[in-house]
Amino acid sequence: HGRLDASRQIAAIPGLYAVGSVDFAVLVGNVSQSFAASNYVNGAWQSGGYDVSMTATVPIIRADIGITYRPPAVERMSFSVGYVFEQWWNVGTIASSTADLYYQGVMMRFGLDF
């Protein structure tokens, strides 16, 4: 896992910062999938199934960019707004089945350091 954070104070407004970060990680673990089907044919049930398991390597990246405001009178408090993107590759990739996961959108955050 690695992470890079960057921030730059905006001089025109005390307590306002442009911020961004990038995270990268690689997970290694086991993926298992099971498939089953049943049909009623000619007065009898027919069914079958398939189980498969394998070790998977899942790279992950997350990036966000935005602005953070820390009121000068209450520096332990912060308000942030920005945009976030995260993607996980090969989350459900096994045999001929594939799956990736991603999300993105606007984020708002309130922080209180104590």
The residue with tokens 């009898």 is 44
* pLDDT digit string, tens, across residues 15-71: 999 999 999 999 998 888 888 889 988 888 999 888 888 888 999 999 999 999 999
pLDDT for the residue 42:
87
pLDDT for the residue 33:
82
pLDDT for the residue 92:
77
* pLDDT digit string, tens, across residues 66-105: 999 999 999 899 999 999 999 999 887 777 778 899 999 9
Q: How many whole angstroms separate alpha carbon 86 and alpha carbon 60?
A: 7
Burial of residue 95 (number of CB atoms within 10 Å: 0-12, 13-18, 19+):
exposed
Determine the number of helices (DSSP H) and then strands (DSSP E) in the chain.
Answer: 0, 5
Q: Which CA distances in Å does 13 have to 83, 87, 89?
A: 21, 34, 40
pLDDT for the residue 61:
97
